[in-house]
Structure 1
Amino acid sequence: MLVIILVEIPIDFVAYQQRQYKETAANFGVGIVHEILSRAIAIVLVLSGLSFFSTLSPLRIPVNIGTILLAILIADFIYYWNHVTEHRIRFF
């Protein structure tokens, strides 16, 4: 969204004679607050969900360099096969 705003501002300066700076500043402020709040809410929801479900898990996996590397390897493997599947089975 921020990229679109930054592209629109120079176009606005070139194309239009009457500018409403107060309205532009208000829209820019609302857009920034929206971005910050939506990311903060997403982070809170993800972390609260993870903490809730981690208490229900019967397994306890220690966090160390080996498990982090294994998690990255598994995520990469899943992403690769998801990507291959999307090329073979086209829905759209």
Structure 2
Amino acid sequence: MTTQSNIIYASEPELDVAEFRRVLVESTLGETRPVDDDARLQAMLSGANLVLTARLDVEGTPLIGVIRASPIFPGCATFQSSPYPNLRKASASAKA
């Protein structure tokens, strides 16, 4: 019998670049993002007004999603999300 994992949502303005990269790569957004350039990934995170994360509520709290909001002009922002492609797989491997 499998138990369902809860998801923890949080604001993480100091998100680690390595975790951000992993989610980008595993969600296929890494194909269009500079995943091999730590400085640019850090700039992407630092330049965001808001960094929200989704983590599984299991040991190690693995990151499964990121949303960044960046202002483009007053009253308007752009959002980019990086969802984990297979949540059930992440949940199962996190429990193992």
Regarding TM over 0.5, the answer is: no
Q: Which has the higher strand share?
A: 2
Higher relative CO (Cα under 8 Å, sequence separation at least 6) belongs to 2
| TM-score (normalised: structure 1) | 0.18
Higher Cα radius of gyration: 1
| TM-score (normalised: structure 2) | 0.18
